[in-house]
Amino acid sequence: MIQYFHWYTPADGSLWNEVKKNAKALAAMGINAVWLPPAYKGADGPNSHGYDVYDMYDLGEFDQKGSVRTRFGTKDEYLAAAKAIKEAGMQLYVDVVANHLIGADETEKITVRKVDPENRNEFISEPYEIEAYTKFTFPGRKGKYSQFVWDHRCFTGIDYAADTQETGIFTIQNEYGEGWEEVVDDEKGNFDYLMGADVEFRNPEVREEFRRWGEWYYNTVKFDGFRLDAVKHITPHFFREWLEHMRAHTGREMFAVGEYWAPGQLDLLLKYIDATEGKMSLFDSSLHHNLHSASKGGKDYDLSKILDDTLVSAKPFLAVTVAGNHDTQPLQALEAPLDDWFKPLAYALILLREHGYPCVFYADLYGAEYTDKDREGNDCHILIAPVLGLDKLISARDKYAYGVQRDYFDHPNCVGWTREGDEDHAGSGCAVVMSNGEEGNKHMEIGKRHAGKKFRDITGSREEEITVNEEGWAEFTCGAGSVAVWAEA
């Protein structure tokens, strides 16, 4: 799949039209599914990235928050992009942000208690009354599609008192109890609260509204799956129930991947998978952590251990593998970009192996250029260059990466693997060698079915041809600090 946006995608309403224009080319390259950003109106209107959710029924149709269109375009343009994706033979995954709403239309007087932001289970005040932005009436939509009004009973917490202009983290006292919902992660005591008006999933009316919205969204767009935002901050019981409902409503399996970002904490990913009974995949933040470490470590990183303690090793059929995303790109909150030299190695690792569902990042395929503040508040200009040969690696997965896999992760600076290919894909089979140090070579078996065949490096970094011997073995090579992908010449 491809994540077809980055954090600094221009706020000019052009993305949906770009998707429509490029859909056929993506499919021809070997992309099978497109993950699009949140399509509904955010609190920041035409500048919103979609994660500051205001109205999930407004797909760029109503004059709300300063515009009709979203950052990415109008509803009609969105539906045209969705149609183009499907007509090109790809699937469409929509981004679902269920954790919070932001940009309420009215304030309410509510009773709250303030909590310690570093231990949200610890109250640091007695109950008291504040005015808070917790009522969402969506006057611009005027009840079209849904007449549901969100009020303080629909939220567990808020971060701003409008009357006193006090900031903090406040739990809201309502009929569903005081305090947070049960989540998997005990970071900060309880990490239910993330931002804005935090949704109260213990309220059955809220759960019913999400079911109605999910049905409406599917009936409107006819998508094929979900990317679920910030799942670590949401009780796993909600998504377990909601995904069951959506799959029953559509009569389809409906792929789902959750964003539970926990670098180097595989145990939490596995705990969440257990809590959701394996009903969704997760992005492999553990593998991304290893890729980032390898990128920065150079020849001092032990490549033979790069798959250790990763989701793709522990739960290969529930791992979506990534080399970068909108949160890890430069100047973002979880900034952890890979160095340019290592990106081709990382993409070869996620694209050409048997296990994992690889996700290509827009900025790595097309490049990106933007300016923002760094952590010290200084203007910083960023240029992300397209990853050299990424289109070839995507195509190589589609053409060659089939059949039995044999691994040769037996050296700290040079590793490799082969895919034998199969009868269903003519010309399939490949050998991959990568080095984070000097030029490398691996004596690897690719199978007797390739005996006598000549192989070439499809990345173009190696000029020689390699001939497979009668036993199905060959000496495959790569350059210093690079990757070579050998396929039938």
Binding residues for Ca(2+): 99, 192, 198, 233
CB count in 10 Å sphere of residue 92 = 22
**Sequence-ordered alpha helix ranges (H) in 251-385:** 266-275, 285-297, 311-314, 343-351, 362-366
Q: Quick one: pLDDT at residue 185? A: 86
Residue 281 is predicted with a pLDDT of 98
Question: What pLDDT, on a 0 to 100 scale, did the predictor assign at position 9?
Answer: 98
What is the band of 178 on the pLDDT scale with cuts at 50, 70, 90? confident
Average pLDDT estimate for 270-282: 97
- Where in the sequence numbering do the catalytic residues fall? 229, 259
Listed in sequence order, the residues at least 6 apart from 300 whose beta carbon sits closer than 8 Å to its beta carbon are none
- Integer Cα distance of 200 and 447 in angstroms: 56
Residue range 327-349: average pLDDT? 96
Q: Write the burial class of residue 461 (CB in 10 Å: 0-12 exposed, 13-18 middle, 19+ buried).
A: middle
Residue 319 has pLDDT above 80, yes or no: yes
In the chain, the amino acid numbered 477 is: T
The alpha-carbon radius of gyration of the chain (Å, integer) is: 24
> Which pLDDT score is estimated for 401?
98
pLDDT above 90 covers a percentage of the chain that reads: 97
Give per-residue pLDDT as tens, 401-427: 999 999 999 999 999 999 999 999 999
CA within 13 Å, CB half, 77: 20
Residues 58-75 have a mean pLDDT of 98
DSSP code at position 57? T
Instruction: Assess whether pLDDT exceeds 80 at residue 389.
Output: yes
Q: How many residues does the chain have?
A: 489
With a cut of 90, say whether residue 143 has pLDDT above it: yes
In DSSP terms, which residues pair with 62 in a beta bridge? none
- Sorted by where each starts, the structural domains of the chain and their CATH numbers stand as 2-97+204-394 (3.20.20.80), 101-199 (2.40.30.140), 403-488 (2.60.40.1180)
What pLDDT was estimated at residue 87?
98
The binding site comprises 99, 192, 198, 233
CA 12 to chain centre: 23
d(CA 475, CA 82): 46
Q: Which range among 82-91, 174-183, 239-248, 319-328 shows the weakest confidence by mean pLDDT?
A: 174-183
Q: What does residue 216 show for φ and ψ, rounded to 5 degrees?
A: -60, -45
pLDDT of residue 179: 85
* pLDDT tier, 25 (very low <50, low <70, confident <90, very high otherwise): very high
- The owner of tokens 């796993």 is 236
Among residues 95, 36, 7, 15, which one has the least CA distance to residue 328?
A: 7
* Cα–Cα distance for residue pair 25/7, rounded to 1 Å: 23
Whole-number pLDDT of residue 375: 87
3-state DSSP helix/strand/coil % of the chain, to nearest 5: 30, 30, 45
| Residue 489, pLDDT score | 87
Report whether pLDDT(177) > 80.
no
Mean pLDDT for the stretch of residues 151-161: 97
